[in-house]
Amino acid sequence: MPPKVLQNNLDVDFVIKYKIDSKDKAASAQQFQGLIRCLAQLDLQTEVRAGDDSSLFVFVKAKSDESFGDVVYRSRIRDWLHGVRQIQPVKEAVGTLTEAPLTEAERLRIVHDMITAQRIDGGAGITPNYGEWKNVEAIFPLHNHDRNKKWLAEWSKKTFLTPDDLDELRNAVGEKIAYYYAFLQSYFQFLMFPAAFGASVKILLGNFSPVYMIGIGMWSVIFVEYWKRQEKELSVRWGVKNVGTLEAKRREFQPEKVHKDPITGEDMASFPSKTRLQRQLLQIPLAMISAIALGLVICTCYAIEVFISEVYSGPLKSVLVFSPTILLTVCVPTVSGFLTKYAEQLTNYENYETQGAHDKAMISKVFVINFITSYLAIFLTSFVYVPFASILVPYLDVFSLTVKPFAEDDKQIRAPTAAQFSINPQRLPNQMFYFAVTAQVISLATETIVPILTRKGGDKIESMKSSASKRSGGAHPSIAATDHAEEKDFLTRVREEASLPEYDVTSDLREMCIQFGYLTLFSVVWPLTPVSYFINNWFELRGDTFKLTIESRRPVPERADSIGPWLSSLEFLAWLGSITSAALVYMFSDGGLGPDGRPSKIKLGFLMLSVFFSEHTFLIFRNVVRHAISKLDSANMRKEKSERFMVRRKFLQDAGLGDAVKPLETPSDSVLKTINAARATGLDRRSLEEDARNDSLHDSTSSSRFWNRQRGWQESETVGLRMIEMMESVGERKMK
């Protein structure tokens, strides 16, 4: 009896969208045949329906309970073999699994594996958009709309999600996405503290407060260390610890050689790590090119903007001041796009064995690109514009070209001398406000509202086109006309879901990471930043749920035991924050600049000294927090340790070896027995010694002679007591 939740979806596990290539029907047909046959071999039931005008839907379901139960069992055994699962799985029929019921996510994951795993691993080997299956456009599960609606409705009423909510999410969409939600939830809860703290600091102390800097530094350390621990707890709770060892090889992986592992007998495809390390060194030039390219674009636009807003005084100023912003909005995504493409190529060249390693390498490159695009502008304002503007601005008249057409006379574009110029003290707070509030609102809207409008707009255009063609040309039956009456709604829904984009949890994690960076690096500029982020993140979680359930295809559940390399990014940003916050506080507190804005009071020595102390205090505090957290025990950790112990102990008991340790009886009982036994036989020391001497004639090693002088412990005891008495006498004699 399949779980109830699948009833709406007519028990469909996966939908395969198969595209027909209009130029080569015969090949498409042949590939289609192969597809059906491969699926049939695995006991997967298939149904074919029309998709749209040029594609078919192949609905896939795991057929019978018994053979599927076998597949589930084998998957769990594999987990157990690799140490991901501690307790040995039992072979049960799928419908009656009692000990570890099959969650929806696990079922979908296993069926997806059946479809996509390589043939030698026991799968069908269907690889979408690749190789012999390039007509297979997508393989996706169907949404459970009732549950999605329930989530959106319920979560919009709550402030915090409960661990049960997260478990429910994990059972539906898999651990990788559930980790993102768990992280978002932790981050949201933790944001309460800097929000409250920042609000009070803003009221009592104002901007650039050292108190706030210390508070935010401590908070960032505690949050990151807490989250690292929370990840481990969840990995035990969700049973995915060390799941990274289980990954299959990437299909794009090109090994240098394949040999048999002498111990396990399995084939080992290998690629020498030295070669990979050499290829990884190419990341350095890539990083430098990214920095230079993006840096040039951003710095140029920034300089133009400063020129227009603070030097130029002619007509159309209020309009022209947006031109660099427009330039930026056009150039930066283009350049980033190029760089991301090169990053992808380089990561492919680095030839990672598993998708996890590949993603990790890709993410670290993407982080560098995003770091520059997100933070360079505000870096420039804090550390270049404010200290050095009065020196640099007179050189800005090179940019007069950009406004020459509009200027009325030369005076409007002439740069002031260093003495005349005074910086705009509002630039930095304004910029921070933009990143804290405006940018977040825009981003939220872009994520949630714009796709809806795009789709509605696209639908409208489609319907207008079809009504236009209906009016103009003859009727031609669309494929949709072949639907059965009772399946019409269902198939319309499937077609709609098939047209949605895929859900990518990485971009959401990246967003939160960059936001965290603003908090640690620059929020000393405007202490209400965490308040804004706190409010934003409440909407963010619901917005992401909306995106996941309504605006994207249902994702294939994947397992993970961490949010991945973003964790290192968080640690790096917290560390960098200790440096930039100290520099900002030193430079700007008490209006650290002179009245004309010139940085006469900023001394490099004291600046570096405050950075030095701030950074090292941060590191010491971080070590203390790590130590304290590692000592805190938890129910989950104990449970895991005990489970590992029990695995082996059970094995021992099954093999009938009993307990490995038996404590001694109290000495008195057994010793008394021996004493009585000895007395009964009437042995005494002299006769034993004689026996010893007699034996010694036969046994000639000095060792055995040594060990036979006192037979049995009673003799040793007796001899010893006599020696003690003798010593007494000697002692007394000495005293005389």
74 contributes a contact to its own copies by CB under 8 A: yes
Q: Which one among 296, 337, 606, 690 touches its own copies, defined by CB under 8 A?
A: 606
Interactions with its own copies, residue window 647-666 (CB under 8 A): 648-649, 651-652, 657, 660-665
Q: What is the Cα gyration radius of the chain?
A: 37
Cα 464 → chain centroid: 44
702 contributes a contact to its own copies by CB under 8 A: yes
Interactions with its own copies, residue window 554-573 (CB under 8 A): none
CB-wise, 217 or 530, nearer to its own copies?
A: 217
Half-sphere exposure of 632 (CA within 13 A, CB side): 12
CB of 459 to its own copies, least distance (A): 20
727 contributes a contact to its own copies by CB under 8 A: yes
Interactions with its own copies, residue window 186-245 (CB under 8 A): none
Structure token digits, residue 663: 């404590």
Q: Which one among 601, 644, 679, 693 touches its own copies, defined by CB under 8 A?
A: 644
The answer to whether the beta carbons of residues 439 and 373 sit under 8 Å apart is: no
CB-wise, 120 or 680, nearer to its own copies?
A: 120
Structure token digits, residue 418: 């260093």
Choose one: 3-11, 158-166, 175-183, 334-342; the region binding its own copies (CB under 8 A). Answer: 3-11
Q: Which contacts (CB < 8 Å, 24+ apart) does range 400-404 have?
A: 400/307, 400/312, 402/304, 402/307, 402/308, 402/320, 402/323, 403/307, 403/308, 403/312, 403/314, 403/320
Question: CA angle, corner 47, sides to 45 and 51, nearest 5?
Answer: 140
CB-wise, 254 or 703, nearer to its own copies?
A: 703
706 contributes a contact to its own copies by CB under 8 A: yes
363 contributes a contact to its own copies by CB under 8 A: no
Choose one: 120-128, 186-194, 549-557, 586-594; the region binding its own copies (CB under 8 A). Answer: 120-128
Q: Which one among 98, 159, 273, 694 touches its own copies, defined by CB under 8 A?
A: 273
CB of 727 to its own copies, least distance (A): 5
CB of 565 to its own copies, least distance (A): 12
Binding mask 150-189 for its own copies (x = CB under 8 A): ----------------------------------------
Torsion of CA 195, 199, 204, 205, to 10 degrees: 70
Q: Which one among 5, 81, 401, 449 touches its own copies, defined by CB under 8 A?
A: 81
Interactions with its own copies, residue window 448-477 (CB under 8 A): 476-477
β-pairing, 44-50 vs 14-19, is unpaired
The answer to whether the beta carbons of residues 515 and 441 sit under 8 Å apart is: no
Q: Distance between CA atoms of 205 and 633, rounded to whole angstroms?
A: 39
The answer to whether the beta carbons of residues 40 and 62 sit under 8 Å apart is: no
Q: What type of residue sits at position 452? A: I
β-pairing, 14-19 vs 55-62, is antiparallel
Structure token digits, residue 392: 């640099």
Structure token digits, residue 526: 């405007």
How many other C-beta atoms are found inside a 10 Å radius of the C-beta of residue 301? Answer: 21
CB of 166 to its own copies, least distance (A): 25
CB-wise, 53 or 256, nearer to its own copies?
A: 53
Structure token digits, residue 225: 């260390």
493 contributes a contact to its own copies by CB under 8 A: no
β-pairing, 136-140 vs 267-270, is unpaired
What is the enclosing helix (H) or strand (E) of 140?
A: strand 136-140
307 secondary structure, DSSP code: I
322 contributes a contact to its own copies by CB under 8 A: no
Binding mask 36-55 for its own copies (x = CB under 8 A): xxxxxxx--xxxx-x--xx-
Q: Where are the alpha helices (DSSP H) in 43-82?
A: 65-81
707 contributes a contact to its own copies by CB under 8 A: yes
Q: What type of residue sits at position 494? A: V
94 contributes a contact to its own copies by CB under 8 A: no
253 contributes a contact to its own copies by CB under 8 A: no
CB of 462 to its own copies, least distance (A): 15
Q: Which one among 254, 264, 694, 700 touches its own copies, defined by CB under 8 A?
A: 264
